[in-house]
Chains A and B, each alone.
Chain A
Amino acid sequence: MNRVDYIVLLATIIAIPLYGLWRTYNHPNLREYLKGDRTIRWGTIGLSVLATQAGPITFLSMPGQAYESGIGFIQNYFGQPFALIVVCAVFVPIYQRLKVFTAYEYLGQRFDKKTRLLGGFLFLIQRGIAGGITIYAPAIILSALLGWDLNLTIWLAGGFIILYTVVGGTKIVSLTQRYQILVIFVGMALAFGIAVSRLPADLAFPDALHIAGRMGKLQAVDFSMDPSKRYTFWSGILGGFFLSLSYFGADQSQVQRYLAGNSLRASRIGLLFNALVKVPLQFLILLLGAMIFLFYQFEKPPMFFNQPSYERAIANGYGPKLNELQSQFDDVFNRKRQLLQTAPNDPAVEQLDSRARAIRDETKKVLERAGANPKSKDSDYVFITFVLQHLPHGVVGLLVAVIFCATMSATSAVLNALGSTTAVDFYRVFRPGASDHHYVVATRWLTLGWGIITIAVASFCSLVENLIEAGNILASVFYGSILGLFLVAFFLRNVRGSAVFFGAVLAQTMVLVLFFTTNIGYLWYNLIGCAAVLLFAWILQTTLFRNDSPLAS
């Protein structure tokens, strides 16, 4: 990165929050601080919901995912449109009618205090950790590749986000997200255009797609019923439906976005907008990864994208072994490139590609033996390496700004939700009757506290798998039980507080045991946790708690 890049980067990431602070600086009451001032329209809600979901991991990790395994990951989003329709039809009207600040406040009204606290507690645990991953993920990659200090990157990015979220509350989060997502759109479109333009001049775009397809990168839809396959149409529809239903219906970071709407209609249109744009948007991001894969068929890629880790291994005395692998890799690459230029349909191309992948796997093992500690999957470094090495100056700054914008938009929404939930569902419950101003101040302090906790988590977390999956796995382990609480509330009218509370505790315990002892695909935990809450709550209500007091209404 040169001076132009840093100017573009700083101007982009500072200007948007400053504009937000200028637009929202006032002395709000609690409703304005938590739900905005009722001027937020469907377009802002739609973009805000989109931006909350599209964290930095999406843009760093997803092109790498396509580079490595193809675009089949798109199927994970197939359940989302159905989930959003259910949220529009069921969740939003009830939240809007009851004028709740948080989703868990509804649980308190429908059941009792302990169920409300349980819902809020599960959310706080899950989101507190996930927020840390959201900050850590881009920081570890950017600091490694740009030579920035990791902790300084985490604290600077996190501190800036905390500052404007604490000051502006929900309105500034929604307002800044609108512009941050626009920066993201522009940046990703530029990256896509440049990746395509850098393909060989004599290779037509459809021919390039055929090459990527033959190498297994373009299978978007797979109707296979094989349960061992991680991404299929069926797992996407079913698992994705429950994951999305939990996320959009019961995760306060999303609920707060659409409750900020100036009407029920605005909230619904904002959500339906997401139902329609999410799949095409993710497809384009994954296709960008496939384009980068094609680009690296003609331009020699690094044998291992996480170069700092690679260099640490050389420094630790593994240079000769890595040089030997590098020369094998170069030989395979040159033969493959030659074949692609002369006989792209030759089956030997696929064999050479498999061989190149095997060499990369062997390299990773050498790095692990060398103690080079490659903390995240190498594919997470693919996109940012392409950006830093092959895009023109200015655009590089913009693309790094995209990563920061995504971090800021996702993290600010999470902090806003964590602070709100702690204030409304815990603090206000145990300290009722204070003035409105008191609760606004308390919410600000709690948001600040969660910001510090999130940064602390980011400072200490070390990822075990692909960044995007780490977030989804964590969410899937908790979301099923949270969603179960809400589905019991909506659909099982005779189930009351104690039954659903202990049902949810049992279900969450069961999911945690399954998670630590079995190898079930993570998306299924959403379904298992949710179904278990429904079942346990119903059984407990008809057995142990059948003599519970009748309904209050």
Chain B
Amino acid sequence: MWEAPLGGDQFGALPPWRRPQGGGYRSNCTMSLHEHPPFFSSWRKAYVFAIVLFAVEVALLYAFTLRFS
């Protein structure tokens, strides 16, 4: 597995096969999301759990508002 050099260079830790040709900066859209869809990961349950807990927090705050306002 390729490892980035510690210090990096002007292309940071870009692996050799993704480095722009000719030494200058050029577009590289393979770093966009299309190659790594984020939500189809093992973390989906954690995200859903966080949203559910947040919904509970808002519901409690709303109940607090109704009770005391």
Which residues of A pack against B, CB within 8 Å?
29-31, 74, 78, 81-82, 84-85, 88-90, 93-94, 97-101, 105-106, 108-113, 116, 209-210, 212-214, 216, 218-222, 233, 268, 272, 275-276, 279-280, 283, 428-429, 432-433, 435-436, 439, 489-494, 496-497, 548-549, 551-553
Contacts and interface: CB of A to CB of B under 8 A. Distances in A.
A553 B30 contact: yes
18 contacts: A31-B6, A78-B58, A81-B50, A89-B47, A105-B12, A109-B11, A110-B32, A111-B25, A212-B68, A214-B69, A221-B65, A233-B58, A272-B46, A279-B57, A433-B9, A491-B32, A552-B20, A553-B29
A93 B36 contact: yes
A265 to B, nearest CB: 9
B47 A85 contact: yes
B33 A490 contact: yes
Chain A's interface: helix, strand, loop or mixed, by majority? helix
Which of B25, B58, B62 has the most chain A CB within a 10 Å cutoff? B25
A112 B27 contact: yes
Contacts of B68: 209-210, 212-213, 218
B69 to A, nearest CB: 5
Contacts of B38: 89-90, 93
A412 B55 CA distance: 33
A98 B31 contact: yes
Contacts of B64: 218, 220
A233 B55 CA distance: 12
A100 B13 contact: yes
Given A93-B36, A111-B25, A30 B7 contact: yes
Contacts of A219: 65, 69
Contact of B28 (A100, A548, A552): A552
A552 B27 contact: yes
A489 B50 contact: no
Interface residues of B, number: 44
A89 B51 contact: no
Contacts of B33: 90, 94, 490-491
Contacts of A268: 43, 46
Nearest to B6: A31
Contact of A110 (B8, B13, B21, B31): B31
Contact of B29 (A81, A85, A279, A494): A494
Nearest to A209: B68
Contacts of A94: 31, 33, 36
Which of A84, A111, A222, A548 has the most chain B CB within a 10 Å cutoff? A111
Contacts of A113: 24-25
Given A112-B25, A220-B61, A221-B65, A493 B32 contact: yes
B27 A551 contact: yes
Nearest to A112: B25
Contacts of A494: 29
A88 B54 CA distance: 16
Q: Which 10 A-B pairs have the closest CB atoms?
A: A213-B68, A99-B13, A89-B38, A112-B25, A496-B27, A552-B26, A81-B54, A220-B61, A553-B30, A493-B29
Contact of B65 (A218, A433, A493, A551): A218
B39 to A, nearest CB: 6
B21 A489 contact: no
A214 B65 CA distance: 11
A548 B27 contact: yes
A304 B44 CA distance: 51
Which of B4, B26, B27, B62 has the most chain A CB within a 10 Å cutoff? B27
Nearest to A434: B7
Contact of B27 (A90, A110, A210): A110
Given A276-B57, A428-B8, 13 more contacts: A29-B6, A90-B33, A93-B36, A101-B8, A106-B12, A109-B28, A113-B24, A221-B62, A233-B58, A275-B50, A429-B10, A548-B27, A552-B20
Nearest to A92: B38
Contact of A275 (B4, B7, B54): B54
Contacts of B67: 213
A216 B65 CA distance: 10
A175 B47 CA distance: 27
A279 B8 contact: no
A374 B6 CA distance: 51
Contacts of A218: 64-65, 68-69
A89 B41 contact: yes
A391 B17 CA distance: 64
A249 to B, nearest CB: 12
A111 B61 contact: no
Contacts of B61: 74, 220-221, 279, 283
Contacts of A105: 12
Given A213-B68, A220-B64, A101 B51 contact: no
Nearest to B35: A493
Contacts of A435: 7
